[in-house]
Amino acid sequence: DTGVSQDPRHKITKRGQNVTFRCDPISEHNRLYWYRQTLGQGPEFLTYFQNEAQLEKSRLLSDRFSAERPKGSFSTLEIQRTEQGDSAMYLCASSQNTDTQYFGPGTRLTVL
C-alpha cells in the first residue's frame, strides 16, 4: 500500500496524559499536513510542512501541541497534557507541489 499511513488508528487516554501520533506520507510527496476533525464538522487545518520545515501553524495549535518532520519523511504530532476537548480525529495528508492532498485513515483520539 503506497498511500498515507497513520499510527495508531485509535488512542484512548486519560486527561493530562501525553500522546504522540505518527504519519507516513506518500513517499515522493514533499508536503505534509495535519488536520483535526470533530463530529459534524469538516477537517480543520493545524499545520503544514514542506520537507522538514514547518511553514505554517494554525491558531488552533495551542502550546500543548507540537509537530515535527525531522528528516522530511514521516511526521509526528504530540499533544501534551491532553484535555477532553482534544478528542477528535487527527488526519494527516500529503501532496507533491500541488493543491491536491491525499489523506491517511486518521487517528481517532478519545480523552477520558
Site string for another protein, 56-95 (x = CB under 8 A): x----------------------------------x-x-x
Contact flag: residue 105 with another protein (CB under 8 A):
yes
Unique residue bearing C-alpha cell 501525553: 18
Candidate residues 2, 14, 27, 42; the one interacting with another protein per rule CB under 8 A: 42
Question: Are the beta carbons of 43 and 36 closer than 8 angstroms?
Answer: yes
Question: Are the beta carbons of 102 and 111 closer than 8 angstroms?
Answer: no
Of the pair 75, 95, the CB lying nearest another protein is at: 95
Cα-based distances in Å from 8 to 38, 40, 47: 18, 22, 19
Instruction: Fill in the DSSP letter of residue 71.
Output: T
Contact flag: residue 25 with another protein (CB under 8 A):
no
Question: Closest separation between CB of residue 38 and another protein, Å?
Answer: 10
Cα-based distances in Å from 5 to 2, 15, 25: 8, 26, 7
Question: Closest separation between CB of residue 29 and another protein, Å?
Answer: 12
Contact flag: residue 33 with another protein (CB under 8 A):
yes
